[in-house]
Amino acid sequence: MSIRVIVADDQVSTREGLRMLLSSEPGLEVVAMASDGFEVVEMARRHRPDVVLTDICMPRMDGLAAIRGLLALDSAPAVVALTTFDLDDYLFGALQAGAVGFLLKESDPGLILDAVRVAHEGQGLVDPQVTPRLLHRFAATSPRPVTEELATLTPRETDVLRHLAGGDSNAEIARRLVISPGTVKIHIERILAKLGLRTRVQAAVYAHRHGVVTWEDPR
């Protein structure tokens, strides 16, 4: 079964380029395109996509408001944010709103395709160009004490969170901890539920801010 995708961008050329890229890949299907935030939320309500690829800067309703609207739907899609501008406010705003991924429009086409696939699998992908700055800023500002929620994690879940925050994929975590990828996925689902988070990117940020890992030695 194909991964159903909606593309949202106010530029026709960008929408069409993304449509052509996604449609050329087996297993991906673009079911609709939108030119602003209102349209993408309405189209997602109508078409129930698996993933939405949305620009941040759009007229009428911007991408950040659209992300919040998309995640409020009964059948909420995974959201990957796109932007031309490498600005911290966009990056942090998109991830805090609940996007599972953040890419620059200049990102390699293969990275965009990977982001859609991993979003559908419940994971997240942030452009490598901005990932270090993302974690460093969150780690360096407003450090917070250990929370009651963090204390509910089992030792194994804490290990998984530590490796996740270090940037390991599920397969890498499985190899390092000598467990199956399926078990890693279950642990991550439980970690997110216990910490009240939506995405693995938010979990990585949380781990840095609460001292589960340090910036100097993420693992």
pLDDT, tens digit, 9 for 90 and up, residues 48-98: 999 999 998 888 888 889 999 999 999 899 999 988 765 666 777 887 788
Show the domain range for 152: 142-209
Nearest to 26 by CA among 7, 8, 1, 6: 1
Q: Which amino acid is at 30?
A: V
Domain annotation covers residue 214? no
Instruction: Return the CATH number at 187.
Output: 1.10.10.10
To the nearest 10°, the Cα dihedral for 82, 88, 91, 96? Answer: -150
Q: How far apart are CA 163 and CA 170, in angstroms?
A: 9
Inter-residue contact 212 to 158 (CB < 8 Å): yes
Query: Looking at the domain assignment, is residue 219 inside a domain?
Result: no
- Could you say which of 80, 107, 129 is where a domain stops? 129
Question: Is the confidence at residue 141, as pLDDT, over 80?
Answer: no
Do 202 and 114 belong to one domain? Answer: no
Residues 85 and 20 in one domain: yes
Is 150 part of a structural domain of the chain?
yes
The three-class DSSP label of residue 50 is coil
53 and 159 belong to one structural domain:
no
Residues 210 and 219: their CA atoms lie apart, in Å, by: 14
The answer to whether residue 135 scores a pLDDT higher than 70 is: no
b/e for 184-215, b at 16 or more Cβ within 10 A? bbebbebbbebbebbbbbbbbbbbbbbebbee
**Domain assignment of residue 136, yes or no:** no
In a domain, 98, yes or no: yes
With CA atoms as reference, report the closest residue to 102 among 123, 80, 85: 80
pLDDT digits (tens, 9 = 90+) for 90-125: 777 887 788 888 888 888 899 899 999 989 987 777
Cα–Cα distance, 94 to 105 (Å, whole number): 15
- Do residues 30 and 19 lie in contact, with contact meaning Cβ atoms separated by under 8 Å? yes
User: Residue 200 falls within a domain, yes or no?
Assistant: yes
pTM to 2 decimals? Answer: 0.72
Rounded-to-integer distance, Cα 82 and Cα 43, Å: 18
Q: Are residues 125 and 155 in the same domain?
A: no
| Domains held by the chain: number | 2
Q: Does a structural domain hold residue 215?
A: no
Same domain, 124 and 167: no
- Whether residues 75 and 167 fall in one domain: no
Distance CA 27, CA 73 (A): 24
Please list the residues that pair with 4 across neighbouring strands: 29
Indicate whether 125 and 41 sit together in one domain. Answer: yes
> Is there a single domain that holds both residue 148 and residue 122?
no
Domain boundary among 72, 103, 129: 129
Do 111 and 147 fall within a single domain?
no
Q: Is the same domain home to 161 and 70?
A: no
**What pLDDT sits at residue 15?**
94
Last residue of a domain, one of 99, 129, 159: 129
Whichever domain contains 18, its CATH number is 3.40.50.2300
Structure-token match 């290990």, residue found: 159
